[in-house]
Amino acid sequence: MAYKTVITYGTFDMFHIGHLKLLQRAKEYGDRLIVAVSTDEFNAQKGKKTLIPFEQRAEIVANIKCVDSVIEESSWEQKVDDIRNYKVSTFVMGNDWEGTFDHLREFCDVVYLNRTQNISTTDLKKSLTRILTVPKEDIIKAFEVIEVLKNDFQ
């Protein structure tokens, strides 16, 4: 049986369970999984600012068990070259991209996987913003309540 290579692309900021499941399911389509991680410069072009810098995002993804290698994603146009250079059999993306990469079917299989429900970097960032914008007085009040409760239970 021929050796099959799978490729997927993404930012993987604040790596979470949805990212992990996507990578694990992508690997099931072949023997080798290549992950193209978006560089900070490419994200800037897309108007996206990550919390975690490229080097750390790439290192985290490279150390996920099912990932065989990480490359840089630095442009929209590189996909055809990547598919040719790495002899890719299957291109995988989350279904938030459904239809967007159908033109790549000329070069390899294209698969869109269902996203994991109820988790996203965008939501994690929103939660952080909410925490950071809680007024200082409310935080102090919450700590005072915790102290009272602690005393009640002693």
Which residues pair with residue 113 across a beta bridge?
Answer: 94
Identify which of residues 11 and 39 has a Cβ nearer to ligand CTP in the complex: 11
Q: Residue 124, SS3?
A: helix
How would DSSP label each residue in 12-48? -TT--HHHHHHHHHHHTTSSEEEEEEEPHHHHHHTT-
Contacting residues for 26 by C-beta, under 8 A, at least 6 apart? 6, 8, 33, 66, 92, 113
Identify which of residues 26 and 89 has a Cβ nearer to ligand CTP in the complex: 26
**Residue at shortest CB range from ligand CTP:** 94
Counting Cα atoms < 13 Å in the Cβ hemisphere of 1 gives 5
Please, what is the minimum distance in Å from the beta carbon of residue 12 to ligand CTP?
A: 5
Told to judge if 4 belongs to the known catalytic residues of this protein, a careful annotator would answer no
Which residues pair with residue 90 across a beta bridge?
Answer: 6, 109
Identify which of residues 10 and 152 has a Cβ nearer to ligand CTP in the complex: 10
Looking at 60-68, 83-91, 92-100, 141-149, which segment touches ligand CTP (CB under 6 A)? Answer: 92-100
Please, what is the minimum distance in Å from the beta carbon of residue 81 to ligand CTP?
A: 20
Please, what is the minimum distance in Å from the beta carbon of residue 27 to ligand CTP?
A: 13
Does residue 120 bind ligand CTP (CB under 6 A)? yes
Does residue 79 bind ligand CTP (CB under 6 A)? no
Does residue 66 bind ligand CTP (CB under 6 A)? no
Helices H / strands E in the chain, number of each: 6, 5
